[in-house]
Amino acid sequence: MQAERAIINAALDEFAEAGPQGLAIEKVAAKAGVGKATIYRRWPGKEELLLDAISAMRTELPEPKGESVREDLAALLDAMGRESADPRWARQFALLLGDGAAYPRLLERYLDTVVEPRREIVRNVLRRGVATGELREETNIEAAVDLLTGAVIARPRSGKDRVDRGYARRIVDELLIGLASR
């Protein structure tokens, strides 16, 4: 299990540095301190290795407390913003924006294991807000999810400084002005 974790971490590092096209099993093996045969016993090729590596990057978001839509959204977006500063996450974001067309299986795995579960957590908080009357009944949940998550994920790639702690709350506050129940 220790070798597998080292291989996954090395693959993610190589992926962050070179993208899927530049990832080489030889480099992963050297960085992980294992032989190529050790990798090939577990994965038939680099795409399968990357599929598992991307799945392994999935981290848990804070559990929404259910007391306030504002507080739950700010906590979720703050966690997403901190993650987005990791160069491995940046490469995954690049996969979503460009490299995905060349690697459809990687893109599908990324969407299924990383993106959609996170979006569903945000959707659930927004749905709860509609149900409790904190948000308008006609709230477009998908548009709100796009606005919230896009704001924190794209910011580090826009040349701005890292997402500061107050940024997520400011984004949530601005969006909630428009979605708030009247």
CATH number, domain at 97? Answer: 1.10.357.10
Higher pLDDT, 47 or 91: 47
Structural domain includes residue 63: no
| Same domain assignment for residues 127 and 155 | yes
**Cβ neighbours of residue 89 under 8 Å, at least 6 residues apart?**
57, 83
What is this structure's pTM?
0.78
Structural domain includes residue 49: yes
| Same domain assignment for residues 52 and 81 | no
pLDDT of the residue at 153: 75
| Same domain assignment for residues 156 and 98 | yes
Structural domain includes residue 30: yes
The SS3 of residue 180 is: strand
| Same domain assignment for residues 108 and 162 | yes
DSSP 136: -
37: CATH: 1.10.10.60
Number of domains in the chain: 2
| Same domain assignment for residues 87 and 10 | no
Mean pLDDT (whole number) for 72-76: 94
Structural domain includes residue 107: yes
| Same domain assignment for residues 104 and 145 | yes
| Same domain assignment for residues 76 and 30 | no
Give me the domain span that covers residue 164.
Answer: 69-179
Q: What is the pLDDT of residues 93-144, one digit of tens each?
A: 676 667 777 888 888 888 888 889 989 999 999 999 999 999 999 999 999 9
Structural domain includes residue 64: no
For all residues of the chain together, what is the average pLDDT?
85
Q: What is the pLDDT of residues 147-165, one digit of tens each?
A: 998 888 776 554 554 556 6
| Same domain assignment for residues 36 and 116 | no
Cβ–Cβ under 8 Å, residues 19 and 90: no
Q: What is the DSSP string of 45-78?
A: SHHHHHHHHHHHT--PPPPP-SS-HHHHHHHHHH
Q: What is the pLDDT of residues 15-53, one digit of tens each?
A: 888 888 888 999 999 999 999 999 999 999 888 898 888
